[in-house]
């Protein structure tokens, strides 16, 4: 029998990974996803909105642009600093607070809408994270999520990483949040309605080598993976990532455009 998963230790490693590199280099390219999610949640002016695992603030900014009273949270302070800088540049009033989605420091039913774009899906304890989002969202409120699917570029990229650096036994993969049945099981009886829209985000880079170079330098989990591997295994990882990207490339030999599927989920609470 496998030992129980030490979620605290796993989370500490995750925090270190996401704090490394510079996620904003990649995160800012995903802004469209936050805009689409804000529209899907039909945000209203002056609604209280919480962005969890907000990263550098894509959903945060989208909600604030629509007049929401937004609180942006993440467990990596440096990412919140980047979001705050973006909000200041646009003259948007946003509150920023360090917080873990699995232990949110907010009252029950405090928010009209809770958002997360490619953030909460990386929480180690899926059930606890879902329960916390539902707890702080009012009855009749909405929880809006954007989650990579297992078949997406990001889902498959983490599978490639896992061949060199396997996750601890018993840990559910982040891409399960991109499976409708799993999301339904997480919110269960608390959901009055669950609307799911399959969407695609296109990663656009010069080449597969360019993508790997950018992610190796700036995207925390990939940055940390390469740093942890000896040279021979790092070379294998690079080869496997390039092969995956070239397999999924729709742009031909002169560039790189890789569609990555995700689920846009809007949970309306009872």
Domain ranges of the chain: 7-149+168-202+260-269
Q: How far apart are the first and last CA of the chain?
A: 38
Task: State residue 139's pLDDT score.
Answer: 98
* Dihedral sign computed on CA atoms, order 166, 116, 224, 17: negative
Asked if pLDDT for residue 2 goes beyond 70, the answer is: no
Q: How is the beta sheet containing 48-51 ordered, strand by strand?
A: 94-98, 69-74, 48-51, 111-117, 137-148, 256-269, 191-205
Neighbours of 112 (CB within 10 A): 20
**Is residue 167 very low, low, confident or very high in pLDDT (cuts 50, 70, 90)?**
confident
pLDDT, mean of residues 226-251: 98
Give the separation between CA 98 and CA 239, rounded to whole angstroms.
Answer: 37
Alpha carbon distances (Å) from 77 to 9, 53, 137, 184: 18, 11, 23, 31
7-149+168-202+260-269 maps to which CATH number?
Answer: 3.40.50.150
Q: Cβ contacts of residue 191 below 8 Å, gap of 6+? A: 184, 267, 268, 269, 270
Rounded-to-integer distance, Cα 259 and Cα 202, Å: 4
What confidence tens digit (pLDDT) does each residue in 145-164 have?
Answer: 999 999 999 999 999 999 99
| Region 223-229 average pLDDT | 96
Q: Is 243 helix (H, G, I), strand (E, B) or coil?
A: helix
Which residue in this structure is represented by tokens 């269960």?
Answer: 188
For 30, the 3-state DSSP assignment is: helix
- Which pair of tokens denotes residue 168? 């601890």
3-state DSSP call for residue 269?
Answer: strand
Poorest-confidence range of 1-5, 59-63, 64-68, 91-95?
Answer: 1-5
- Binned at pLDDT 50, 70 and 90, residue 170 comes out as confident
Spatial contact of 33 and 78, defined as CB atoms under 8 Å apart: no
Q: Which pLDDT does position 173 carry in this prediction?
A: 95
pLDDT tens profile 20-51: 989 999 999 999 999 999 999 999 999 999 99
The arithmetic mean of pLDDT across residues 77-89, rounded, is 97
Given this model, what pLDDT does residue 3 score? Answer: 67
Confidence of residue 103 (pLDDT cuts 50, 70, 90): very high
What does the mean pLDDT of the chain come to? 96
Report the candidate in 100, 80, 84 with the shortest Cα–Cα distance to residue 92. Answer: 84
Residues of the chain with pLDDT > 70, as a percent, come to: 99
pLDDT mean over 246-255? 97
* Cα(65)–Cα(69) distance, integer angstroms: 10
> Is pLDDT above 80 for 137?
yes
Cβ(27)–Cβ(56) below 8 Å: yes
For the segment 188-222, what is each residue's pLDDT rounded down to a tens digit? 999 999 999 999 999 999 999 999 999 999 999 99
Answer for the pair 160, 237: CB distance below 8 angstroms, yes or no.
Answer: yes
Q: What is the pLDDT of residues 171-180, one digit of tens each?
A: 999 999 999 9
């Amino acid at each position: 029998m496998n030992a129980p998963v030490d979620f605290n230790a796993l989370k500490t490693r995750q925090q270190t990974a996401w704090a490394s590199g510079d996620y904003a280099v990649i995160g800012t390219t995903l802004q469209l996803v936050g805009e689409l999610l804000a529209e899907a949640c039909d945000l209203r002016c002056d609604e209280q909105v919480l962005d969890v695992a907000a990263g550098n603030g894509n959903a945060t900014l989208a909600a604030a642009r629509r007049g929401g009273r937004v609180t942006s949270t993440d467990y990596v302070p440096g990412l919140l600093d980047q979001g705050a800088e973006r909000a200041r540049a646009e003259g948007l009033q946003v509150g920023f607070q360090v917080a873990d989605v699995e232990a949110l420091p907010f009252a029950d039913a405090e928010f009209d809408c809770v958002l997360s774009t490619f953030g909460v899906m990386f929480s180690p304890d899926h059930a606890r994270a879902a329960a916390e989002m539902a707890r702080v969202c009012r009855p009749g409120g909405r929880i809006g999520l954007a989650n990579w699917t297992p078949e997406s570029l990001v889902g498959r990229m983490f599978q490639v990483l896992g061949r060199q650096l396997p996750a601890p036994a018993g840990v559910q993969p982040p891409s399960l949040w991109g499976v409708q049945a799993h999301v339904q099981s997480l919110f269960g009886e608390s959901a009055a309605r669950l609307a799911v829209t399959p969407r695609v985000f296109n990663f656009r880079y010069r080449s597969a080598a360019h993508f790997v170079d950018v992610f190796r330098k700036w995207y925390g989990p990939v940055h940390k993976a390469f740093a942890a591997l000896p040279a021979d295994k790092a070379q294998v990882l690079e080869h496997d990532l390039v092969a995956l990207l070239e397999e999924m490339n729709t742009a031909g030999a002169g560039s790189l455009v890789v569609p990555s599927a995700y689920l846009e989920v809007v949970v309306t609470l009872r």
